[in-house]
Structure 1
């Protein structure tokens, strides 16, 4: 599949991981099917969310009090911990814990609206994306902004490559011999009435 931008390695990894697990369409992105594919125990209860991996296996708990899309996003966040992280956050340095939380947040965005399920020929709105992938409008908007920023960045990078910027030629930074030759050329051009503003390309 062709994409309008180059996905990050993380984004590709999330998409490839889901594809290998048979998660191929928005209807597949449900806790039951994902847990079955990855061998994870899952439950929802009236309490805080969490996840843990032990020698006996992995499990995820979500907060049943949340609305369905919020609970789904919470599940995806905890899935990121299960698939990507090790260790007990209560016994790790604060900076490393924050890194894991940030990583799980990005994972949740990529996994809730995976790259391989986005039809880039369609004119999505954040609301239509939220409805199709059963996420909150906030996450759908965040994913759209993420994709838009990547497309704009790549277009700007390509423009910079194709259209190098001309800058004034700084003769004071050149050797004495180069300065002598350039001054001689400048003098000759002045005698002919031609411009002598030298430029170099970055």
Structure 2
């Protein structure tokens, strides 16, 4: 799957690489913030990102658990790294787009795909969730959502690989004779292989 990282997965991998972080055990929220010149404040308010005088701050709710603060940090970090402008002065659709992007970034930053690929997760789902939650210091709900995303991505990649293989080994002139039937058989074989390999 390493050759098939999405743009976001590759971005997160490169970010961690620049920070010298290669495994979950090296992840330290405050060190990451320091290395990126971001101030972190713990207050009794909702989490947010603030830019003042060219300096970025991330405010985290001090009443939340460390796991929830880490998740919020990932969300707000996306706004720092990828979004410009006053969030509150944007139209609703653009604001919703940025929130969607920040949520996607949060899942991939807090539990990076390239690190998941290095792990051998337990076969029992409950144990896999517990492992992800413990190793990456996220909540169980977060771990469950991230594992679902990871499994869907792996299945999609297996499908792409299988379909590419089947289409590259097609009979000469197959598309002239029976495009639909050939593609349907290739798709059924690829779907069978996904079930077999996932």
Bin of the TM-score, shorter chain as denominator length: 0.7 to 0.9
1:139 to 139, 142, 152: 142
Q: Distance in 2 between matches of 1:43 and 1:105?
A: 21
Quick one: structure 1 residues 121 and 21, their matched pair in 2 at CA, closer, same or farther if it must change by over 3 Å? closer
Structure-1 residue corresponding to 2:18:
20
Count of aligned pairs between the two proteins? 171
Q: Distance in 2 between matches of 1:151 and 1:91?
A: 38
Q: Distance in 2 between matches of 1:75 and 1:41?
A: 11
Structure-1 residue corresponding to 2:158:
155
Unmatched tracts of structure 1, length 5 or more: 175-197
TM-score (norm 2): 0.77
Shift of 1:137: 1.3
Structure 1 segments of 4+ aligned residues over 6 angstroms from their partners: none
Unmatched tracts of structure 2, length 5 or more: 123-127, 184-198
Quick one: structure 1 residues 152 and 46, their matched pair in 2 at CA, closer, same or farther if it must change by over 3 Å? same
Q: Distance in 2 between matches of 1:65 and 1:135?
A: 16
Shift of 1:87: 0.9
CA RMSD across the alignment: 2.4
Q: Distance in 2 between matches of 1:160 and 1:32?
A: 44
Structure-1 residue corresponding to 2:69:
71
Would the aligned equivalents of 2:121 and 2:131 in 1 still touch at CA under 8 Å?
no
| Range with bigger deviation, 137-146 or 73-82 | 137-146
CA displacement 1:66-96 (0-9 Å, x = unmatched): 1221111011111111111111111011111
CA displacement 1:100-134 (0-9 Å, x = unmatched): 11111111111101133224451240111110000
Q: Distance in 2 between matches of 1:98 and 1:65?
A: 26
CA displacement 1:179-199 (0-9 Å, x = unmatched): xxxxxxxxxxxxxxxxxxx74
Structure-1 residue corresponding to 2:130:
127
1:39-188 aligned within 5 A: 39-120=37-118, 122-124=120-122, 125-163=128-166
Q: Distance in 2 between matches of 1:34 and 1:4?
A: 24
Point out the structure with the larger helix share: 2
